[in-house]
């Protein structure tokens, strides 16, 4: 019976050793899982933070795009106003006609006479007989 008692102790020791080894492995796995959970949690936090920053960036871009659209609308309105104003301006041919008219009546380049000069010339012609 002593041998059986010895066998039971050996078997019990082996079982305890295996249970202890299994417990050690389970603790190591739990520690790994905890580290992985922490790592995944950190990654989730980073992803959420990046998403928030991305949303803010998109909102800013959207605001800028809206402002640019408003500026473009203003520019288009100004261009349309300028087109209407250009319709009211003189054409090149009209300016040429006006230039020609100014050149005709320009006292510096045209030869005009005063009323007194004209009267004097007419009196001279009346006084001087015509020669045939």
Owning domain of residue 56 = 2-127
* Within-domain flag for 76: yes
Among 35-44, 58-67, 71-80, 86-95, which stretch is predicted with the lowest mean pLDDT?
A: 86-95
* CB of 104 closer than 8 Å to CB of 110: yes
* Within-domain flag for 132: no
* Within-domain flag for 96: yes
* Within-domain flag for 103: yes
Average pLDDT over every residue of 114-121: 88
Measured CA to CA, the distance from residue 59 to residue 64 in angstroms comes to 9
* Within-domain flag for 70: yes
Nearest C-alpha neighbor of 20 from the set 50, 28, 97: 28
Average pLDDT over every residue of 68-90: 92
Sign of the C-alpha dihedral, residues 110, 116, 119, 124? Answer: negative
- What pLDDT sits at residue 13? 94
* Within-domain flag for 88: yes
* Within-domain flag for 24: yes
Domain count, the chain: 1
What mean pLDDT, rounded, does the chain reach?
Answer: 90
* CB of 60 closer than 8 Å to CB of 68: no
């Amino acid at each position: 019976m002593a041998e059986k008692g010895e066998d039971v102790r050996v078997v019990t020791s082996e079982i305890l050793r295996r249970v202890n080894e299994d417990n050690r492995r389970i603790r190591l796995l739990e520690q790994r899982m905890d580290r992985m959970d922490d790592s995944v949690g950190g990654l989730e936090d980073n992803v959420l933070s990046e998403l928030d920053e991305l949303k803010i960036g998109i909102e800013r871009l959207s605001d800028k795009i809206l402002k640019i659209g408003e500026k473009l609308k203003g520019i288009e309105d100004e261009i349309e106003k300028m087109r209407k104003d250009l319709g009211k301006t003189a054409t090149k041919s009209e300016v040429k006609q006006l230039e020609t008219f100014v050149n005709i009546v320009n006292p510096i380049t045209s030869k005009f006479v005063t009323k007194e000069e004209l009267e004097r010339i007419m009196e001279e012609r009346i006084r001087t007989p015509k020669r045939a």
